[in-house]
Amino acid sequence: QSVLTQPPSVSGAPGQRVTISCTGSSSNIGAGYDVHWYQQLPGTAPKLLIYGNSNRPSGVPDRFSGSKSGTSASLAITGLQAEDEADYYCQSYDSSLALFGGGTKLTVL
C-alpha cells in the first residue's frame, strides 16, 4: 500500500470533468513537499503532466490542472477526451526520498 493514496480508478464521459486525488500525510505532502503528476499511456513510459503542484510543462494542454492543500493534492482534467485514457500517478517526497502514489486508471466512457 502506497504512502500516497490515490483512487484505483475514475471514469467520465467525453467533455466531462474528472478529478484524481492524492492523499498523503504530515511527513510528505503536509511537510511542504511539492506534488507532481505523470500520465502513462498504455505501453509507454510515464510523461510529466504537472510539476510543482500546479505548473504545466510546455506542450501539456490547459485542460490539465493541479492543486495542493494541506496533506492532499488533486489533478483535474476538463473537457475529457478519448486520448486521456491512461494511468495517472502523483509523486512527492517523504523524509527526502521520492515516492509515488499507487496510480489511478482513468477510463473515458
Partner 1 sequence: EVQLVESGGGVVRPGGSLRLSCAASGFTFDDYGMSWVRQAPGKGLEWVSGINWNGGSTGYADSVKGRFTISRDNAKNSLYLQMNSLRAEDTALYHCARDKGTQSNWFDPWGQGTLVTVSS
Of 47 and 63, which has the nearer Cβ to partner 1? 47
Binding segment toward partner 1, per CB under 8 A, in 16-24, 59-67, 75-83, 92-100: 92-100
For 31, phi and psi rounded to 5 degrees?
-85, 0
Please, what sign has the CA dihedral across residues 70, 56, 48, 13?
A: positive
Residues in 29-88 that interact with partner 1 by CB under 8 A: 33-36, 38, 40, 44-48, 51-52, 57, 87
The least CB distance from residue 41 to partner 1, in Å, is 12
Contacting partner 1 (CB under 8 A), which of 65, 86, 101, 106? 101
DSSP 40: E
Residue with cell 480508478: 9
Closest CA to 77 of 55, 62, 58: 62
DSSP 67: E
Contacting partner 1 (CB under 8 A), which of 20, 80, 92, 108? 92
